[in-house]
Structure 1
């Protein structure tokens, strides 16, 4: 896809967003244009801000609940604090209640740390964020919205780490709570449930998430990273091919 094709697609998306009604960016070719811009970092100055504007307008149309970033992060941090408190509190309750507290704490940590990890790693690599949101009533899991201009300007490996961070943290949570359960002498079923939860999450990622969600995005950005890494090699090869042969 060349620059002119990207301009046409972005223009069509902007026109669709000016009209009333739903907008299908995928059908309009928006994400193909985004991938083309990622493959050509020298196009970012022309297209990055425009892409971010289209992405944000479409996001605001389709999202069910949206919170400004600071209040949203505060809620997640409070939820993570409650989860950690429940886990630690298992040491101070009678044995039958320990398992319940540990599982409730693990659940709270799973629900809140995913997006916190995205945020912390993203900010560390220069990616900004704009909102916390819930996309649909039937999918109440919170999400965090990237600022797409900063996302595009970040190196692809940085984007990959940002996407991977949330998935990695949620996979670790059950296994981190297991030693606490053992130290607190929680009922054996508590450890069994935590272990099963951790294994199911890993299997789900292996079987499904590589084709959707975070791991799909990780694979996509790793492809861009490999492509960019090969680009200097290709330039060097072309340069050597053009260099006239030296004859003594």
Structure 2
């Protein structure tokens, strides 16, 4: 089974980092977000990846082309250029890197990558969201309902504390960052049948608009509700929060340990 990862966007809300690299290459704990996402999938037995490139896609190509060297101890003789790998930490992954255009939208990126998906059920997610979602349980749910698409439904982390007031304007309670303040949202980590791609018109199609809306209209979209950890990395604040979790040794998405 393959996992498609959308990794071509600009990441304008975290421009301090994405000026020099694609947002999925922003590092948490010294490893790109993209690596963390792939480790999540690999933990659930999915090791075949199709990565949709766009903005500064060459940075992602370079990372994986030299992954063996990035992740291993080396000895280099500068006088001769000879080098020796002392140990290897390479992953058992197969990766297809697809140039999907600098200005292509999310749906168009998926459509361009379709020829590499072998006409079988596949996963799809964004290159900037981390979760401890049980992909295996979601896949079982997808197979049970038999529809074209499953989306991971999540409750976003609250940004602000909420004051509960009585009729006299007294604060009766204070809730620190409630997670259910806007209900369920699209958390990525889709599972799709190949025919879902037929809903995408062209490069200028956003997956989150007409395709998903029309799949839902046709009764072909189901939601797998996830009440555990989920967080995107949209801003520097998000990055710092994720870094703090990683450095604490309690990162919820680190399911592979």
Q: Tell me: higher relative CO, structure 1 or 2? Use CA pairs within 8 A at least 6 residues apart.
A: 2
Superposition TM-score, scaled by structure 2 size: 0.24
Q: Looking at CA atoms only, which structure, 1 or 2, has the larger radius of gyration?
A: 1
Structure with the bigger percentage of helix: 1
Give the structure-1-normalised TM-score.
Answer: 0.24
Higher strand share: 2
